[in-house]
């Protein structure tokens, strides 16, 4: 049986798939960071909802990628996680 990574690497050989995959990485980075911060603090989605006033169902949608957060919502999440929100623009790296 192929692993997820093997399957992904095979699919990334397709230029169209690779471009789409690369395009969603900023959103995926936000999702991964939010989940990691929540879990590092041993918080459930319900706990985070209580801290932020954001509905638990909306937190779930953010974490599974079916909802995009506004900047205001990201600020509330950061505050609820006792963290600072940092958004930055970085130069693109040249393709080899």
Q: pLDDT of 57-82, one tens digit each?
A: 999 999 999 999 999 999 999 999 99
d(CA 35, CA 63): 7
C-alpha dist (Å) from residue 85 to 17, 21, 74, 81: 30, 25, 7, 10
Instruction: Enumerate the domain spans of the chain.
Output: 4-80
Which of residues 83 and 95 earns the better pLDDT score?
83
Phi-psi region of 92 (alpha: psi -120 to 50; beta: other; left: phi over 0): beta
CATH 1.10.150.50 fits 4-80, yes or no: no
pLDDT above 80 for 2: no
How far is Cα of residue 52 from the mean position of the Cα atoms in its chain? Answer: 18
Digit-coded pLDDT (tens) for 7-63: 999 999 999 999 999 999 999 999 999 999 999 999 999 999 999 999 999 999 999
pLDDT above 80 for 94: no
């Amino acid at each position: 049986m192929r692993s997820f990574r093997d399957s992904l690497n095979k699919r990334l050989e397709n230029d169209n798939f690779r471009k789409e995959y690369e395009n969603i990485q900023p959103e995926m980075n936000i999702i991964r960071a939010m989940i990691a911060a929540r879990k590092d603090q041993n918080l459930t989605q319900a706990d985070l909802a209580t801290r932020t006033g954001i509905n638990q169902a909306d937190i779930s949608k953010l974490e599974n990628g079916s909802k995009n957060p506004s900047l205001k919502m990201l600020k509330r999440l950061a505050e609820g996680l006792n963290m600072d929100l940092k958004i930055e623009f970085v130069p693109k790296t040249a393709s080899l």
